[in-house]
Amino acid sequence: MMRAIQSEGEEGAGPTKILYSANLSHDRLTQYLDELVEKELIKEMDPESNNRSYLLTEKGREFLREFVRMERFSEAFGIEI
């Protein structure tokens, strides 16, 4: 989900885009989006608007960078995460 949001850059990613990229049901998507917002990893671009879009926060970008590092490390030993 965070990768899908990141791939949209400063434009922000809408729920439909995230839903298809992450291959999630609508219920799960809503649940995970709320969780990510609560953890301040993503933020809603304009909460007042009808068209919801999400952006990574600085904390989210750092988390994703760290996750990629750990992914490379695990891959080096043949461990799937």
Residues of this chain that interact with another protein (CB under 8 A) are 65-70, 72-81
Compute the distance between CA of residue 16 and CA of residue 43 in angstroms, rounded to an integer. Answer: 16
Pick the closer one to another protein by CB: 40 or 66: 66
Q: Which is nearer to another protein, 48 or 77 (CB)?
A: 77
Query: From CA 80, how far away is CA 78, in angstroms rounded?
Result: 6
Cα→Cα distances 17→12, 22, 74, 80, Å: 10, 9, 28, 26
Query: What's the min distance (Å) between Cβ of 77 and another protein?
Result: 5
Between 27 and 81, CB nearer to another protein: 81
